[in-house]
Amino acid sequence: MNAREEIFSRIRTALADVTEPDPALDVPIEWVYQRPTPMADVLDRFVETVEDYKALVVRVPAAEVPTRVATLLRGAEVSSVVLPAGIDPTWRTAIVAAGIEVREDDPPLDRMELNEIDAVVTAAAVGVAETGTIILDHAADQGRRALTLVPDTHLVVVRADQVVSDVPEAVGRLGASVAAGSPLTWISGPSATSDIELSRVEGVHGPRKLLVILAE
Amino acid sequence: MTAEPQARRTPAPSSTYLGMPKFQKNAKAKLDDPQLRKNLRYATTTIRAKRAERVAEVADWEELRQAGEAIKTRTLRHLDTYLAQLEESLTRNGATVHWARDAAEANQIVIGLVQAKGVDEVVKVKSMATQEIDLNEALEQAGIAAWETDLAELIVQLGHDRPSHILVPAIHRNRAEVREIFLREMKQYGTPAPEDVSDSPAELAGAARRHLREKFLRAKVGISGANFAIAETGSLVVVESEGNGRMCLTLPETLISVVGIEKVLPTIADLEVFTRLLPRSSTGERMNPYTSLWTGVTPGDGPQEVHVVLVDNGRTKVLSDPIGRAALRCIRCSACLNICPVYERVGGHAYGSVYPGPIGAILGPQLRGIETELDKSLPYASSLCGACGDVCPVRIPIPDILVHLRHKVAQTKHVPKLEPTAIALAGWALSDYRNLQFLERFSTLAGKTLSSRSHLGALPWPASPWTNARDLPVPAQESFRQWWKNSHKEGER
Ligand code: SF4
């Protein structure tokens, strides 16, 4: 018997006491999936919980997003930025106009090159109010995973209609992306560690600065 | 740098778990370490308070726990079905699936894959499964350096040490020790720590960032575990804080994930339950900073060669016990460690395996079989206070399983154990009031004889297994019944 066959045979022997072949009949699950979590105001809560992680959040009317992208980058003393291919072209124009060097990921930059770039600007797929989480499904306006990982500052624009109450709704919205094989990155604040005497340090390997624009 | 030939490529761990003496002996040694006890108490009380606060925010927490329990129970009772589905989904999405019966086979598979890439180093995300199979040492033997990239794991590795807690493995080290370790060791294995680095956690984390960045940027192979594996879609999920996980999962060309066969979840929808249960139970956060999900190979994004090694290593043994199998529901949150009065006092090393605390006491002996002195003693590493079962996000009845395993241990011995003896004695005493009177008189006599002491030391067998790990108060000088009789008049009863 090869390892696979032997493990399956061990499992079947171990489960000799299980006589109902249908998992759903054998163990019913009393849980309503994708239920919203009740809250007074989803957007207010989102801003609160993201700020709790020491990320900067600004609420901006949709029309002002390009200029705010540029001013936030300038405020963070960013001099170079990498943009995913599918980013809103008006953001790009504003960033260039602000005198920030734009690097294209086409052809893909290698990791050494990415390591030399100060910041990345992306859109998002979903925002989660209850937990302050921003989820990327790495569509064209968010770029491949390394883009939002290696540069030290990540500016992410979340649209108000992307923000849901809690994780169950979020997972519901992401089902199609996962089924299509897209990776997901869930981001809740800047990278952090509490490994030395439990004292929290913001910023280890992932971006040490997380800037969030909520576009309404 | 010293001139002596460097045979090893990574720091040698100080000790091995193999041949660890039994729990009570280890515990005694640890109880004598006041620094360890202080650090542990601080860590467990802090995390406990944060957990309680975050759990209280969730209105449907109990329902959520029940859902977590039900999903895991369903999966385990039909593990063959879900594993076959997982394998099919992974393969469809471009991953290569490998099966390992035990630790040696899993290590051999990983070594073979790394050697096939022609490299002699890998970067690693903190993973309980790879610690369980002692992968780092197996790779070292094969001439491959495995670099731990989680800050605490890095401290442990550079400190020639072993982790003491699932969640904060370096909790037994304070900042001054961490600084010393970084200054002494980093320069031998890559980018040195700055000479003037202070002992502030922020500066030490900065030194780790610089030290590891070099390794992330050149690594060709990454090694991870997985918190969850979704059968329906073939997706693996890693939950982390620092971003070292994302580095290992994203930058190398080849990714090898070592995953216990019990990590499977049926559907992507199930993730909503576990991503709510885990961070709040574990670090006491609403959500951990980073969660990564990937499905085989994503063209143009991340590793283009993806391997998944599915490991048994004793899990089917655990599965074969209808009561004990609930331990396989564990999502490694460590809430049961932080709440445990025994763990708080002795720390993780005393449990003699990578799984410490209450979960270690029920999982370790089942995974390995109840054969060694250590594994026979672990089910007794508890006061059965019940706190662990109450905090467990997947409702594992840890105290019940401990008692169940004590019975199993008792069956392996020829001499009767204390508890069955004591229970038989209690049954005899309570069956007839005269028997009880006899015992009471015996006990109060002993109490009078010993009245100058407040605690008894270790007692001889059959009480020795009990008193080796506990202080036994001196028996009262009068029994409750005598006291009642003397202090209450007939009519007041
Ligand atoms: S047994 Fe329960 S509480 Fe303990 S680590 Fe596992 S999931 Fe957490």
> Residue range B337-366: average pLDDT?
87
Note whether residue A22 is domain-resident: no
Cβ contact, residue pair A196, B205, below 8 Å = yes
Cβ contact, residue pair A34, B269, below 8 Å = yes
Q: Which one of B43, B101, B243 has the shortest CB-CB distance to A191?
A: B243
Determine phi and psi for A210, rounding to 5 degrees: -120, 120
Residue A62: other Cβ atoms inside 10 A: 11
Tell me the CATH class for B17-57+329-415.
mainly alpha
Q: Residue B444 half-sphere exposure, CB side, CA atoms within 13 Å?
A: 12
- Residue A17 and residue B301: Cα distance in Å, rounded? 44
Structure ipTM: 0.97
Number of separate domains in chain A: 1
Amino acid found at B238: V
Cβ contact, residue pair A183, B80, below 8 Å = no
Decide: residue B298, CB within 10 A, 0-12 exposed, 13-18 middle, 19+ buried. buried
Note whether residue A191 is domain-resident: yes
Note whether residue A113 is domain-resident: yes
Protein residue closest via CA to atom 7 of ligand 1: B330
pLDDT of residue B21: 64
Average pLDDT, chain B: 84
C-alpha A211 chain-centroid distance: 12
Instruction: Give alpha helix (H) positions in B369-479.
Output: 373-377, 387-391, 398-412, 418-431, 433-449, 464-467
pLDDT of residue B15: 58
Note whether residue A24 is domain-resident: no
| Start-to-end C-alpha separation, chain B | 82
Nearest CA in chain A to B207: A204
pLDDT of residue B212: 95
Protein residue closest via CA to atom 3 of ligand 1: B392
B73 vs A: CB within 8 A: yes
- Which contiguous run of DSSP H or E holds residue B292? strand B290-295
pLDDT of residue A194: 83
Give me ligand 1 centre to Cα B215, in Å: 33
Rg (CA), chain B: 25
Q: Helix, strand or coil for residue A90? A: helix
The verdict on the CB of residue B396 being under 6 Å from ligand 1 is: yes
The verdict on the CB of residue B330 being under 6 Å from ligand 1 is: yes
User: Per-residue pLDDT tens for B275-330?
Assistant: 999 999 999 999 999 999 999 999 999 999 999 999 999 999 999 999 999 999 99
Task: Tell me which of B48, B73, B281, B283 to substitute to probe ligand 1's pocket, judged by most ligand atoms within 8 Å of the beta carbon.
Answer: B281
* pTM confidence score: 0.87
A51 vs B: CB within 8 A: no
- Residue B382 and residue B361: Cα distance in Å, rounded? 8
- Residue A130 tokens read as 């209850």
Note whether residue A21 is domain-resident: no
The pLDDT confidence band at residue B167, using thresholds 50, 70 and 90, is confident
> Residue range B158-168: average pLDDT?
79
Decide: residue B358, CB within 10 A, 0-12 exposed, 13-18 middle, 19+ buried. buried
- Residue A82 and residue A172: Cα distance in Å, rounded? 30
- Residue A127 and residue A129: Cα distance in Å, rounded? 6
For residue B319, the chain A residues in CB contact (below 8 A) are 11, 14-15
pLDDT of residue B473: 45
- Residue B378 and residue B163: Cα distance in Å, rounded? 18
* CATH number, residue A133: 3.40.50.10420
User: Per-residue pLDDT tens for B3-22?
Assistant: 444 578 888 887 555 556 67
> Residue range B52-59: average pLDDT?
96
Q: State the nearest Cα–Cα gap between B467 and chain A, in angstroms.
A: 34
pLDDT of residue B305: 98
- pLDDT exceeds 80 at position B421: no
Amino acid found at B132: E
Q: Which residue has the higher pLDDT, B76 or B9?
A: B76
pLDDT of residue B350: 78
Give me ligand 1 centre to Cα B134, in Å: 22
- Residue A157 tokens read as 């624009």
User: Per-residue pLDDT tens for B357-387?
Assistant: 999 999 999 999 888 888 999 999 888 999 9
Q: How many CB pairs below 8 Å do chains A and B form together?
A: 254
Identify the weakest region by mean pLDDT among A94-108, B33-47, B101-115, B179-193. Answer: B33-47
The pLDDT confidence band at residue B161, using thresholds 50, 70 and 90, is confident
Q: Helix, strand or coil for residue A211? A: strand
Residue written as token pair 């073939």: B234
A149 vs B: CB within 8 A: yes
A156 neighbors A207 (Cβ within 8 angstroms): no
Q: Which range in A53-57, B409-413, B478-482 is most confidently predicted, on average pLDDT?
A: A53-57
- Measured CA to CA in angstroms, residue B16 lies from A95, A164, B28, B255, B371 at distances of 55, 48, 19, 27, 18
B127 neighbors B146 (Cβ within 8 angstroms): no
Note whether residue A12 is domain-resident: no
Task: Tell me which of B396, B398, B401 to substitute to probe ligand 1's pocket, judged by most ligand atoms within 8 Å of the beta carbon.
Answer: B396
Note whether residue A6 is domain-resident: no
% of chain B exceeding 70 in pLDDT? 79
> Residue range B210-227: average pLDDT?
96
Note whether residue A149 is domain-resident: yes
- Which contiguous run of DSSP H or E holds residue B123? strand B121-124
DSSP letters, B39-54, are HHHHHHHHHHHHHHHH
Average pLDDT, chain A: 96
Question: Best of A5, A6, A7 to disrupt the B interface by mutation (most B CBs within 10 Å)?
Answer: A7
CATH assignment of B64-313, given 2.40.30.20, 3.30.465.10, 3.40.50.10420, 3.40.718.10? Answer: 3.40.50.10420
The verdict on the CB of residue B387 being under 6 Å from ligand 1 is: no
Span(s) in chain B for CATH 3.40.50.10420: 64-313
